[in-house]
Homo-oligomer: A and B are copies of this chain.
Amino acid sequence: MRQVSIVGIGQVPVQKVYSESLRWLGATAVRQAMAHAGVDQVDALFAGNMLSDELQNQKHLAALIADEAGLFGIEALQVRAATATGAAALRMAYLAVASGEAELAVAVGAEKMSEGAATPALAKALDTKQEVAAGATLISKNAELMQLYMEKHGMPEDGLVNFAINAHQNALTNPHALFHKPISAEDVLQSRFIVPPIRLLDCSPICDGAAAVVLAPSQAARAYTDTPVHILASSVATDRFRMADRSNPLALEAAALSAQKAFQRANITAEDVSLYEVHDAFSIMACLLLEAAGFAAPGYGWRLAADGEIVLQGKVPIATMGGLKARGHPIGATALYQTAEIVQQLTGQAGPNQVPNAQVGLLQSVGGAAATVLTHVFGV
């Protein structure tokens, strides 16, 4: 199997509402990433998008983005894993290059959530027959997890506030982020309940965006860039689909299993990770992922945040460019933004957000109520 590296990145600034089309967003990120890699052609394009079926009435998006980007003739396929979809596109591009079927592949994620009702479409990441029919949404499932966590581990009401505070702080200096305003613990605790105990500022925002990365065989990477970033591992794992079927819903077994597989493949431990782009769609999810990936014992994830260890200079810097909470979470694009941000960090190009001596970046992406989790490890 060939080693695979990232040789170009592209990020369209996240916005609440773009007037431009979904295809324009996707094609723009593709062209940016290709320009960054210094190439005008690729062999394959793998597109991640979750909501265009409902919001844009469009079901053939990879070929449409390839056409919009002027990439006639190339392979183009769409990949999905609900809210982890961007990472699925990255994995497919990785497989295409690793296998030798593509010399240059672009993974792109694009989402335009502002055109229509995103929330009911997002709920389709759950089991429609058994969960959605009973009134569940992604927010209510995360609220269940937070409630369970507070009860089991005695976490105080303000236990998670630093996740949102850190994300907003880091977004301040990221030009691609949606939010550029700091928030306080009071802001979080005084924001309205969405589904108790989850409040508005525990949630990532609905927004529009697109990001892309160009992949090449590591052996050839320096033909495109002086600073390639290597994909040290790519893994996927699933859990019992319905949270109700899991013996311990707080354990996020798909996250733990995919992290174990990826760490083994990359030959690292959690201690080697310089920064962790976590799936902080909800603060409780970031907390549980810190535990599942091995950065904290069960019941101690929130303390990492409370103790100030998740900031740029902390023990486990997370959401270093704003995270899902403050950079924004345009679903299918999110993991590609995170990948681009890890590339910025590992190449020393994160500006005021730079994590000191960043050598290894970790990315985890959560599909639905963690029925699917993808883990990627990056190094230089």
Distance to closest chain B CB from A279 (angstroms): 15
Residues of B within 8 A of A37 (CB): none
Query: What string of 1s and 0s marks CB contacts (under 8 Å) between A358-380 and chain B?
Result: 00000000011001100000000
Q: How far in angstroms is the closest Cβ of chain B from A64?
A: 5
**Is the pair A238, B101 in contact by a Cβ cutoff of 8 Å?**
no
Given contacts A66-B238, A121-B59, A372-B60, contact A77 B79 (CB under 8 A): yes
| A contacts with B: majority SS | mixed
Which B residues are CB-close (under 8 A) to A73?
Answer: 237-239, 253-254, 257
A76 to B236, CA, bound (A): 7
Given A60-B371, A95-B96, do A79 and B82 touch, yes or no (CB 8 Å)? no
Q: Is the CB of A237 within 8 A of B74?
A: yes
Complex: chain B residue closest to A124, CB-CB:
B59
In the complex, whether A334 has a CB less than 8 A from a CB of chain B is no
Which one of B60, B76, B132, B239 contacts A72 once the chains associate, using CB atoms below 8 Å?
A: B239
Of the stretches A49-57, A158-166, A291-299, the one at the interface is A49-57
Contact A101 B59 (CB under 8 A): no
Tell me which residues across on chain B come within 8 A of A50, comparing CB atoms.
59
Q: Which residues of B contact A367 (CB under 8 A)?
A: 60, 63
- The residue from B62, B68, B91 contacting A77, defined by CB atoms under 8 A apart: B91
Given contact pairs A59-B125, A63-B371, A77-B92, a sample of 17 additional A-B residue pairs in the complex whose CB atoms are under 8 Å apart: A53-B54, A57-B132, A58-B128, A59-B82, A60-B126, A60-B241, A60-B367, A62-B80, A62-B81, A62-B372, A63-B368, A72-B238, A72-B239, A79-B80, A80-B80, A92-B92, A95-B101
